[in-house]
């Protein structure tokens, strides 16, 4: 084959590969929403097998897990970006973060089970689930914080320090506000991932749900939407319309993820553009 | 005034120590995960034979037989299928995005791959059951359609975002002079990609593949839903079997904490943990090799 023909062939194959991925994604979304949206009804949310409690638990556990992971993740990220000297100990912390990021989520789940269910003897609780979920968020938050703090131009920091501000003042008034859009994008990604997490939560938050709506007791068991989809699909209870509940739950999960990916990240990108443009 | 100044300095010191302790805490967490899961897992071998665990596929905890080879094979095989199917496709998409795509198409593909990463794994499992398992049953005449192939296909889709984004980043980070020199010598775009850009970006592509392997081998829910959950050694790609992760999910709820059976499940998660730690070290080696170019 002549090089020019090979070039043309390769180009069309690469177009084909890329478009097949886009088509696959589009088909995924249409398929899930197409099956699930017709199942949305008042009954689906608030009926006897309704998912409103699961929906509430999903956000409640997400919120608690962010409360646990944000301070530590952002603190460690700032340390790595601004304070850490280039030595063995810093390298160890970096290695820990990278390792934590690849730990399979089921291993987090079992670890959380040892700590919260066995050692503390709490049983399956929203608190234990959220704290274990925080471990999943942590490495991503560290990385995102470090990246967005590093992306702040060096002369911003130098100008602030030259004016006599100390490091803490510089961080609070100059570096963090500038790094905020990047940080927010990262937190949105973390939240989207945490909302869909299942393997961690079946071993720590359990597969039961409070019959009382908006039960905020953190020591109760709390099944989330994603866990519910797994439970309904793998052990369908006889006598319920499990297939429809599964279809609706999958669609609801996708909608929540879409909201986090598109609707929340767009305003942040807009803000970022304005911040850097002026 | 003096008081105000010392308060500012106090905050400065306190913040510094808070940041250091957060960083140390991250290290302590990974160490305690290895410690707790390790202790629990290794205590399996007080009752069970370590040789049997790794070399036998006879899993019958009621009669004290703990041969986990089926599950280890299942995890490795689904991961291999995922890399074989998803790796080239993801790499092709990465090359497309880095070198061929017009800016508009590229700005569509970036969020699309992010969305792929955002779809929860139970949803992949759900689509896997409804679509792929059904399709496999119809095309191969297998009794159920559950098995390694279904797991591998679902995983192949799930690793795409990892492969695409890391490979694309490494292709983009190559100096523009590489490409310019090759094109100036009269090479076509494809020759440039194949002979210059891909070899130069190889460490990054390797990193992408290794991280994709880590994601595939640790993936739980999606695989559990389509693998069939039988503890029989896989006879074919379309026979129900199990992986390390799927078996942990299936049996963890039925076994009392501290029993040998339960510990054996922790041993399986220790294997997963060790594999992912080894993969991270491989990534470091591949990155270092890339830096020395």
Residue of chain B whose Cα is closest to the Cα of A260: B118
Cβ–Cβ contact B108 with A under 8 A? yes
Same domain, yes or no: B151 and B233: yes
Cβ–Cβ contact B181 with A under 8 A? no
Higher pLDDT, A46 or A192: A192
B165 CB neighbours in chain A (<8 A) are: none
A78 burial (CB, 10 Å; 0-12 / 13-18 / 19+) is buried
User: What is the Cα–Cα distance from A159 to B162, expressed in whole angstroms?
Assistant: 38
Judge contact between A252 and A245, C-beta under 8 A. Answer: no
| Interface touch B92/A14, C-beta < 8 Å | yes
Identify the band that residue A170 occupies on the pLDDT scale cut at 50, 70 and 90. confident
Q: Is pLDDT of A152 > 50?
A: yes
A107 CB neighbours in chain B (<8 A) are: 33, 37, 218, 269, 272-273, 276
CATH label of the domain that carries residue A68: 1.10.3720.10
B160 CB neighbours in chain A (<8 A) are: 21
From residue A148, alpha-carbon distances to A182, A276, B112, B165, B179 in Å are 5, 13, 22, 18, 30
Q: Dump pLDDT digits (tens) for B30-88.
A: 999 999 999 988 988 888 788 888 888 888 888 888 888 889 999 999 999 999 999 99
Residue A103 domain boundaries: 40-277
Judge contact between B188 and A7, C-beta under 8 A. Answer: yes
| Partner residue opposite A233 with nearest CB, options B16, B22, B225 | B225
Same domain, yes or no: B142 and B274: yes
Residue carrying the six token digits 């993820």 = A257
Give the angle B19-B28-A109 at the CA atoms, nearest 5°. Answer: 115
B31 CB neighbours in chain A (<8 A) are: 96
Q: What percent of chain B has pLDDT over 70?
A: 97
Q: Dump pLDDT digits (tens) for A22-76.
A: 999 999 899 999 888 887 877 777 776 777 788 888 888 899 999 999 999 999 9
The answer to the question of residue A119 being in a domain is yes
Same domain, yes or no: B40 and B158: no
User: What is the Cα–Cα distance from A14 to B194, expressed in whole angstroms?
Assistant: 13
Number of domain units in chain A: 1
Q: Dump pLDDT digits (tens) for B228-281.
A: 888 888 888 888 888 999 999 888 878 888 888 888 899 999 999 999 999 999
Write down which residue in B31, B46, B61 finishes a domain: B46
CATH label of the domain that carries residue B211: 1.10.3720.10
Cβ–Cβ contact B10 with A under 8 A? no
Give the angle B27-B28-B32 at the CA atoms, nearest 5°. Answer: 125
The answer to the question of residue A16 being in a domain is no
| Interface touch A103/B105, C-beta < 8 Å | no
| Interface touch A102/B277, C-beta < 8 Å | yes
Task: Specify the pTM.
Answer: 0.89
| Interface touch A234/B18, C-beta < 8 Å | no
A76 CB neighbours in chain B (<8 A) are: 19, 22-23, 25-26
Cβ–Cβ contact B80 with A under 8 A? no
| Interface touch B121/A14, C-beta < 8 Å | no
Q: Dump pLDDT digits (tens) for B75-113.
A: 999 999 999 999 999 999 999 998 888 888 888 888 888
Min distance A11 CA to chain B CA atoms (Å): 7
Q: Dump pLDDT digits (tens) for A210-235.
A: 666 666 777 777 788 888 888 887 77
Residue B60 phi, psi dihedral angles, 5° rounding: -145, 80
B113 CB neighbours in chain A (<8 A) are: 21
State the average pLDDT over residues B117-123.
88
pLDDT value of position B11: 83
Judge contact between B124 and B154, C-beta under 8 A. Answer: yes
pLDDT value of position B4: 61
Average pLDDT taken over every residue of chain B: 87
The answer to the question of residue A22 being in a domain is no
From residue A265, alpha-carbon distances to A105, A247, A255, B287 in Å are 25, 27, 15, 30
B116 CB neighbours in chain A (<8 A) are: 21, 25
B19 CB neighbours in chain A (<8 A) are: 75-76, 78-79, 82-83
* 3-state helix/strand/coil string of A166-185: CHHHHHHHHHHHHHHHHHHH
| Partner residue opposite B22 with nearest CB, options A17, A76, A113 | A76
Same domain, yes or no: B35 and B157: no
pLDDT value of position A70: 92
A72 CB neighbours in chain B (<8 A) are: 22, 25-26
Of A217, A226, A181, A263, the residue nearest A64 (C-alpha): A217
Angle, in degrees to the nearest 10, between helices B260-291 and B2-42? 120
Q: Dump pLDDT digits (tens) for A80-120.
A: 888 888 888 888 888 899 899 889 999 999 999 888 888 88
Cβ–Cβ contact B50 with A under 8 A? no
The answer to the question of residue A34 being in a domain is no
| Partner residue opposite A17 with nearest CB, options B96, B225, B280 | B96
Number of domain units in chain B: 2
Q: What share of chain B is helix, strand, coil (3-state, %, to 5)?
A: 80, 0, 20
Min distance A215 CA to chain B CA atoms (Å): 25
β-partners of residue B241 are B228
The answer to the question of residue A25 being in a domain is no
The answer to the question of residue A231 being in a domain is yes
Q: Dump pLDDT digits (tens) for B218-227.
A: 998 889 889 8
pLDDT value of position A212: 64
A22 CB neighbours in chain B (<8 A) are: 108-109, 112
From residue A217, alpha-carbon distances to A55, A116, A221, B74, B233 in Å are 15, 16, 9, 40, 44
Same domain, yes or no: B16 and B80: no
Min distance B160 CA to chain A CA atoms (Å): 9
Q: Dump pLDDT digits (tens) for B165-209.
A: 999 999 998 888 888 888 899 888 888 888 889 998 888 899 999
Same domain, yes or no: B185 and B257: yes
Cβ–Cβ contact B109 with A under 8 A? yes
User: What is the Cα–Cα distance from A45 to A26, expressed in whole angstroms?
Assistant: 26
pLDDT value of position B1: 46
Cβ–Cβ contact B283 with A under 8 A? yes
Judge contact between A219 and A127, C-beta under 8 A. Answer: yes
Residue B247 domain boundaries: 51-291
Same domain, yes or no: B200 and B231: yes
B20 burial (CB, 10 Å; 0-12 / 13-18 / 19+) is middle
User: What is the Cα–Cα distance from B293 to B290, expressed in whole angstroms?
Assistant: 6
Judge contact between B120 and A195, C-beta under 8 A. Answer: yes
| Interface touch A102/B214, C-beta < 8 Å | yes
Contact pairs from chain A to chain B, CB under 8 Å: 251
The answer to the question of residue A71 being in a domain is yes
The DSSP 8-state label assigned to residue B145 in this structure reads -
Same domain, yes or no: B224 and B135: yes
Contacts of A98 (CB under 8 A, 6+ apart): A139, B280, B283, B284
The answer to the question of residue A245 being in a domain is yes
Kind and range of the H or E run holding B66: strand B65-66
């Amino acid at each position: 084959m002549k090089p020019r023909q090979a070039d043309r062939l390769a180009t069309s194959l690469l177009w084909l590969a890329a478009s097949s991925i886009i088509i696959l994604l589009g088909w995924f979304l249409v398929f899930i929403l197409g099956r699930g949206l017709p199942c949305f009804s008042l009954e689906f949310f608030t009926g006897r097998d309704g998912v409103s409690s699961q929906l509430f638990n999903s956000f409640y556990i997400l919120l608690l897990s962010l409360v646990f992971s944000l301070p530590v993740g952002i603190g460690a990220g700032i340390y790595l970006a601004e304070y850490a000297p280039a030595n063995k100990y810093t390298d160890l912390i970096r290695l820990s973060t990278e390792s934590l990021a690849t730990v399979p989520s089921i291993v987090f789940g079992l670890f959380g089970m040892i700590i919260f269910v066995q050692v503390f003897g709490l049983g399956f609780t929203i608190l234990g689930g959220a704290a274990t979920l925080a471990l999943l968020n942590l490495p991503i938050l560290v990385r995102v914080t470090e990246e967005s703090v590093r992306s702040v131009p060096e002369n911003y920091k130098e100008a602030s320090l030259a004016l006599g501000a100390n490091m803490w003042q510089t961080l609070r008034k100059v570096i963090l506000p500038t790094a905020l859009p990047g940080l927010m994008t990262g937190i949105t990604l973390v939240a989207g991932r945490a909302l869909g997490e299942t393997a961690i939560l079946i071993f720590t938050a359990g597969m039961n749900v409070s019959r009382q709506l908006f039960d905020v007791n953190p020591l109760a068991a709390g099944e989330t939407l994603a866990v519910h989809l797994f439970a309904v699909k793998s052990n369908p209870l006889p006598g319920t319309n499990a297939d429809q509940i599964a279809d609706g739950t999958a669609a609801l999960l996708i909608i929540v993820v879409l909201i986090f990916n598109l609707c929340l990240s767009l305003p942040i990108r807009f803000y970022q553009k304005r911040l850097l443009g002026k | 005034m003096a008081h105000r100044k010392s308060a500012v300095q106090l905050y400065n010191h306190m913040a510094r120590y808070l940041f250091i302790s957060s960083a140390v805490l991250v290290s302590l967490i990974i160490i305690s995960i290895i410690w707790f899961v390790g202790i629990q897992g290794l205590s399996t071998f007080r009752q069970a034979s370590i040789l049997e665990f790794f070399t036998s596929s006879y899993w019958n905890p009621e009669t004290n037989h703990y041969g986990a080879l089926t599950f280890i094979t299942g995890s490795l095989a689904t991961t291999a299928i995922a890399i074989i199917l998803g790796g080239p496709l993801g790499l092709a998409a990465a090359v497309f995005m880095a070198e061929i795509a017009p800016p508009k198409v590229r700005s569509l593909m970036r969020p699309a791959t992010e969305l792929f990463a955002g779809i929860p794994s139970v949803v992949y499992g759900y689509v896997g059951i409804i679509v792929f398992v059904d399709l496999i049953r119809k095309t191969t005449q297998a009794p159920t359609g559950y098995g390694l192939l279904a797991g591998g296909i679902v995983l192949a889709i799930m690793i795409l975002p990892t492969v695409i984004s890391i490979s694309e980043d490494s292709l983009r980070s190559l100096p523009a002079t590489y490409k310019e020199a090759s094109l100036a010598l009269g090479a076509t775009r494809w020759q440039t990609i194949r002979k210059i850009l891909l070899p130069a970006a190889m460490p990054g592509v390797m990193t992408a593949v290794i991280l994709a392997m880590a994601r595939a081998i640790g993936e739980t829910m999606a695989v559990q839903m389509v693998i069939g959950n039988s503890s029989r050694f896989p006879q074919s790609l379309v026979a129900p079997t199990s992986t390390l992760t799927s078996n942990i999910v299936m049996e963890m709820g039925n076994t009392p904490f501290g029993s040998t059976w339960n510990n054996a499940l922790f041993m399986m998660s220790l294997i997963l943990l060790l594999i992912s730690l080894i993969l991270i070290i491989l990534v470091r080696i591949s990155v270092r090799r890339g830096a020395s170019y």
